[in-house]
Amino acid sequence: MNKNKVYLIVQSVLCVVVCAMLAAAAIMIYRAGLAQKAADPLSWIYTREKVAAALVPVMPVLILGIIVTVVGLIMKITDANADKPAKDVELQRDLTISRVASPSSEMKAERSRQRKLNYGGWAAFALCMVPILIYITNGNHFPNGDLEPVFLALIAHILPWTLIGLGILMISTVLQEKSMEREILAAKEQIKLEKAGGVKTEADGGKGRQAERARFLRIALLIVAVMMIVAGTFNGSARDVFGKAVKICTECIGLG
Amino acid sequence: MDNTNAIGRKPLRPSTRKLIQLYSALLHNAHLKGFIDGEIYQGSAKYACAPGFNCYSCPGAVAACPLGALQNALASSGHRAGWYVMGILLLFGVTAGRTICGWLCPLGLIQELLNKIPTYKIKKSRITRVLTWLRYVILVVFVLAIPLWYGLAHDIPVPGFCKYICPAGTFEGAIGLLSNPANTSLFGMLGILFTRKFTIMLIIGLACIFCYRSFCRFICPLGAIYGLFNKFCLVGVRVDQSRCNSCGACVRNCGMDVRHVGDHECIHCAKCMDVCAQKAISLKAGNVVLMASEGAGSLKADNEVKAPAGVGSIKAGNAVKSPAAAFNDKAYGSRKKGGRIAWGIALLVLCAALVWFNFLDPAVRAETGSGVSGQAGAGVSNQAGTGTEVSGQAGTGVDATGQAGATIGFEPGMELADFTMECLDGSEFHLADTRGKVVFINLWATYCTPCVQELPHFDALYQQHEGDIAMLAVHSSIVTDDPAEFLADKGWTIPFAVDTEDDMLWSIVDGSSTLPQTIVLDRNGVVIYNQKGSVTPEVLAALYEQAAGE
């Protein structure tokens, strides 16, 4: 086996092992601490000593990982595949059809199919978001100010719908790409025909107008932004930002 | 037809970006003193939001996190609209869009460094492209819906994204603070939340090692917001259509899930400039070219570049130069000179920021000048009228039994210095009058979620042991909402007060920038508990029993 491959496998495994060991250490400290806390509510789940003890078995693997990383960086070992350009059917399609003067009926049909698949995919994704929105806007699911006890239920209602939505989008993308591949073939045929007939493509003339619109939008939004900042300074929301930023919100950073 | 630049990569450009990222990370975290002291910066620069993703509870952070501030603003929208944060986000979006992600974001730098670890890499594909929409789900649910809902319905600021996902908060904030020996007391509040967030941080970190900028591409709601402005933002990469021959090398070689240069996934990192043989891509601010390939940037050069179609037409370095090539060299030279001047100014700014945020800022000087015992001493002498010195030292020679003569201080075993506070209901709380009772003092703020969540437990305990317990909940002197108005409909019976402008009570009990904090005194006025972090009803009951000597 190639030396680079062996290195990459070892390094990849080391990274996974270090992270798994760190996560396991945290979970073990938590579980042991929880049992201790049940007996004595004033006891601490995590202490510096417990963390130090839990890190002892992780350290050798971590140090090994660091050494292997340094060696890899010095020897400039990289995943050769990572530097290769990605295969992008959509891009290839765009590039190919940019050379077509007038699309053939086959190309138009494929394009229409892609449009339908695209809209269909997004409509399905939007539909999947509806149960999530219904769930999160129903106050009965959040009976008091504490999100913690209902958090798992929240995730259980969000995650499946999100996964289904993304899955449908993925299927729609795959089908669109199949259609794009067919469109590329049709476009290539069309290019051949047009070349034979001596037809030339037209230049895009809409770029100037787009730039003008972007400039106008930018200036308008900049004015709105400045107005909002000034309004916020006077209505006290600037002080809100300051008040929150100068105190450590223990919950926000995961302390508890 | 891949016209990937045959001339090769210019090593200067990527390293220039890395230097700018490093520079930005340093500027975002210029309060280096905080890493030594284990305290966060509390100066007025925190009125401003940083453009990049940088936790404001990081000891080095000198500005507020835009995403944290947005969640807080949404949670407070029942009281006032968060125009300020929204205006700042709009300003950042319109001026730079996702250029911030590519050039300024400290978390982006961390992700790229993690990705440098030589392992197998997962390339972008249709799966990663679809996963990018996850960011928008996270934006809607965790950044918008949860804070809005809890803010409006329960008047409690719940920062959904910070609390459950944000790896920057765990890495920069929690671990940044916990790793400092001065913050050992923070370990007392770690529990399920930390375990969960630490595990999430590890998973995201691991994903970043194997997949380029995973957090940025699939999770980051700030990137999702900035991405909305990407097409018309002032600073960003632009494609000169007159030069572009649509080879697609830019998109195929990009690590992000872009479909076109400058779309909502593009972070304007300008790496595509290296692979564009036509030199059609440049980094621009409006019409001003900030960065372009050598030989690009002039329309006069178009003919020369385009004439013989294909690779190898750019021969700017050849011995015989056309007038167009000479013009290009001149433009490139002037940009290089401009770059050097910009770097000089930037370094001066950084030096000034480091000096200001570590030595000169009034907030930093206040910390350095007084320290814990100094602050407390100043606050107490007025109140106690005895000039008693409050000591923050661990109680050597302390009478732990609480006999008369115990050292005045805030650590367990010491006696709190006497004080009087005017409560919101007009009554007065005088510590000396509470002798014989168990005393609970709670430090809180309306904008602190765990503080507001634990107050009902205090109220329940207060009612349960009425007559045997003295309790005072003191709001931080930093007031964003009127505490009296906030408490009006809560029905809590605990005496509430707001700390004085000079943080008198904070000084006496060693209050810090960490909220909430609970201090418990036994019947003799001796401190038995002084901890940061929220408490459960079980802990409160145990503390009461311990203090009451039951």
Average pLDDT, chain B: 81
Give the residue from chain A lying closest to B142, CA to CA. A136
Q: Is the dihedral of CA A38, A39, A44, A45 positive or negative?
A: negative
Q: What mean pLDDT comes out for the span A187-198?
A: 83
| Inter-residue contact B156 to A45 (CB < 8 Å) | no
Which of A88, A94, A251 lies at the smallest CB-CB distance from B450?
A: A251
pLDDT digits 0-9 by tens, B283-321: 988 888 888 876 554 444 443 333 333 333 334 344 445
Q: What mean pLDDT comes out for the span A26-43?
A: 89
On the question of pLDDT at A196 being above 90, the answer is: no
Amino acid B550: pLDDT: 64
A201 falls in which pLDDT band (50, 70, 90)?
A: low
pLDDT digits 0-9 by tens, B411-450: 888 888 888 989 998 888 999 888 889 999 999 988 888 8
Q: What percent of chain A shows pLDDT beyond 70?
A: 94
pLDDT digits 0-9 by tens, B12-56: 445 788 999 999 999 999 999 999 988 899 888 999 999 999 998
The region of weakest confidence among A229-238, B282-291, B343-352 is B282-291
pLDDT higher at B206 or A188: B206
Amino acid B482: pLDDT: 84
Q: Is the dihedral of CA B202, B207, B212, B217 positive or negative?
A: negative
Contact yes or no for A240 and B82 at CB 8 A: yes
Neighbours of B110 (CB within 10 A): 20
On the question of pLDDT at A220 being above 90, the answer is: yes
Closest to B72 (Cα-Cα) out of B171, B161, B138, B197: B161
Amino acid B246: pLDDT: 76
Amino acid B1: pLDDT: 42
Give the residue from chain A lying closest to B120, CA to CA. A79
Contact yes or no for A246 and B154 at CB 8 A: no
| Inter-residue contact B498 to B477 (CB < 8 Å) | yes
What is the pTM assigned to this prediction?
Answer: 0.81
On the question of pLDDT at B275 being above 70, the answer is: yes
Is the CB of residue A158 less than 8 Å away from at least one CB of chain B? yes
Give the residue from chain A lying closest to B161, CA to CA. A252
Chain A closest-CA separation from residue B12 CA (Å):
18
On the question of pLDDT at B6 being above 50, the answer is: no
Is the CB of residue A127 less than 8 Å away from at least one CB of chain B? no
Which of B2, B121, B231 lies at the smallest CB-CB distance from A82?
A: B121
Chain B closest-CA separation from residue A106 CA (Å):
23
Q: How far apart are CA B167 and CA B75, in angstroms?
A: 21
Is the CB of residue B527 less than 8 Å away from at least one CB of chain A? no
Amino acid B127: pLDDT: 82
Is the CB of residue A3 less than 8 Å away from at least one CB of chain B? no
Chain A closest-CA separation from residue B386 CA (Å):
31
Closest to A161 (Cα-Cα) out of A127, A119, A138, A137: A127
Residue B518 bridge partners (DSSP):
B442, B531
The interface residues of chain B toward chain A in range 164-223, judged by CB-CB distance below 8 A, are 164, 166, 169-170, 173-174, 177-178, 184, 186-199, 202-203, 205-206, 209-210
Chain B closest-CA separation from residue A123 CA (Å):
14
Which of A90, A169, A238 lies at the smallest CB-CB distance from B259?
A: A90
User: For the purposes of burial, counting CB atoms within 10 Å of the CB of B11, is it exposed (0-12), middle (13-18) or buried (19 or more)?
Assistant: exposed
Neighbours of B546 (CB within 10 A): 15
The angle, 0 to 180 degrees and rounded to 10, between the axes of the packed helices A207-235 and B83-95 is 150
pLDDT higher at B87 or B318: B87
pLDDT digits 0-9 by tens, B214-234: 999 999 999 999 999 998 899
Contact yes or no for B118 and A73 at CB 8 A: yes
Contact list, A232 vs chain B (CB under 8 Å)? 81-87
Contact yes or no for A254 and B170 at CB 8 A: yes
